[in-house]
Amino acid sequence: MSVLDGTYLRLVTGVIELVLFALCVFA
């Protein structure tokens, strides 16, 4: 696993968490 893959995975995880947080707030 390259460093770029790790950074991309972290970015995707952050986006998912942000979306879930938004759903909890606006739901």
Q: What pLDDT, in 10s, does the model give residues 1-27? A: 688 888 999 999 999 999 999 999 998
pLDDT at 16 (0 to 100) = 98
**Longest pairwise C-alpha distance within the chain:** 37
pLDDT at 7 (0 to 100) = 94
Domain that holds residue 11: 1-27
Q: Rounded to 5, what percent of the chain is helix, strand, coil? A: 90, 0, 10
* No. of helices (H) and no. of strands (E), the chain: 1, 0
Q: Answer whether 0.75 is exceeded by the pTM.
A: no
pLDDT at 27 (0 to 100) = 80
- Domain count across the chain: 1
